[in-house]
Structure 1
């Protein structure tokens, strides 16, 4: 039995699953609205666009040096690194933890170092961002047990990589580890999925509601498959991607084959502002 199916069983059947989904939904809204949630991202600044190291919206001077970024600051920049004011130079790697644990800060802002395909960037998270304060909630369809579907994960003999457009208009690689197979109204469908380090799955998909009742694409994160490949494909937990909350994320679009021909009227649909 898959992790998701076990959770639904332990929750006490459909009513328990609906209550568990409601808790999940409320936690999602809180996480999105948190001070350093996705709504607080005000910019992703690629260092290659600033050869002199001066990013207009970000204090300090930032330059690439091989596998590190060198940040130089004066007292006037007001930058803090590891909790101490920076006057001089520090070498940084890519941040991998929560945003609020990033090494670099300026007041309430967090300056997060990012690396993608050999390119370096600085992300600026500001709790005072207008989108965060305009946010109301996530529009999501109430739990429907008919959209918690049994499925099977079929791993590829070897991991694959495809190039897909990203939300910022740049094409990047997307690693894929296999296909999730499931049935809707008697018709078989598949989603190509990545395998996360903990064994869980991640699929980027669109469907017949995308751009017409729901965001243009969504994420699905099933738990790790069972030993026989069984996995619950729970579209009730379809997620809005980070770029639905801030334009500065670089979310991948669905890879070829991941646009479902059927409507999926379940899960998160859109961001709602006050």
Structure 2
């Protein structure tokens, strides 16, 4: 295949990726529909404003107590009584607890329980006009290398909700741009793919304050494709109620990465 044909394919693939991404975030239960993350520790009496039922932290599970007046469904059926709940890991539409069109999703972070409220009628979803993204440019697609740590590291970083939490890191992605070497500390996902939270010279001035890079899993020789054309806005760019981690120390690039997703359209 000629160089020109390869470039056209890369641009077309990027455009398809971008269109799929816009469609995904604007789905009825995509990130734009999150209207609240309610930590049970902040509501020791069990009553969460605007969320039906009584939710109590029982250590390794959450107890939900609901009456007829709450209008709650469990596994698609009207529910009254008390049920023990674990953290939801299914896709949002398949979460166990609902109230009309809303999905009430149980999550756990560092031993703390919360209920997330996803509403397809959320104002942010109605106001969505798209994602501002820079068209594909081959200069931002490079081959890098993953340097795994000997053991898992964890650093405390501030999150978008103002609380500090642990961020697990499995190694470093090393790559070069315009002849200069750069390093990003990265987590290793369960499927072996990598995830890095980073800022750069455009952060807060032309791009959102930080973004995500999600390369695939490294090859057997630990090389990895670093395609900055596909950097992502974090979920908290779409709704204030996500708890995205800020970049760990060392993950602020000194260059302007004018690539990938930059901001919400109209932001």
Q: Where on the TM-score scale, by shorter chain, does this alignment land: which range?
A: over 0.9
- 1:150 to 2:143 alignment: yes
User: What displacement does 1:273 show?
Assistant: 4.7
- 1:105 to 2:91 alignment: no
Measure, in 1, the Cα distance between the counterparts of 2:202 and 2:20: 25
Give TM-score scaled by structure 1 length: 0.95
Q: How many positions carry a matched residue from both structures? A: 265
User: What displacement does 1:45 show?
Assistant: 0.3
Measure, in 2, the Cα distance between the counterparts of 1:193 and 1:168: 21
Matches within 5 A, 1:35-114: 35-114=28-107
- 1:134 to 2:134 alignment: no
User: What displacement does 1:268 show?
Assistant: 0.1
- 1:263 to 2:247 alignment: no
1:227 to 220, 223, 236: 220
User: What displacement does 1:186 show?
Assistant: 1.0
Q: Secondary structure at the match of 1:136?
A: coil
Measure, in 2, the Cα distance between the counterparts of 1:84 and 1:145: 51
Measure, in 1, the Cα distance between the counterparts of 2:37 and 2:265: 23
**Structure number with higher relative contact order (C-alpha < 8 Å, ≥ 6 residues apart):** 1
Question: Which residue is 2:206 aligned to?
Answer: 213
Measure, in 1, the Cα distance between the counterparts of 2:59 and 2:164: 23
2:188 to 183, 195, 208: 195
Matches within 5 A, 1:167-186: 167-186=160-179
Measure, in 2, the Cα distance between the counterparts of 1:24 and 1:169: 32
Question: Is the contact between residue 134 and residue 273 of structure 1 (CA under 8 Å) also seen in structure 2?
Answer: no
Pairwise CA RMSD of aligned residues?
A: 1.3
Structure 2 gaps, min length 5: none
Give TM-score scaled by structure 2 length: 0.97
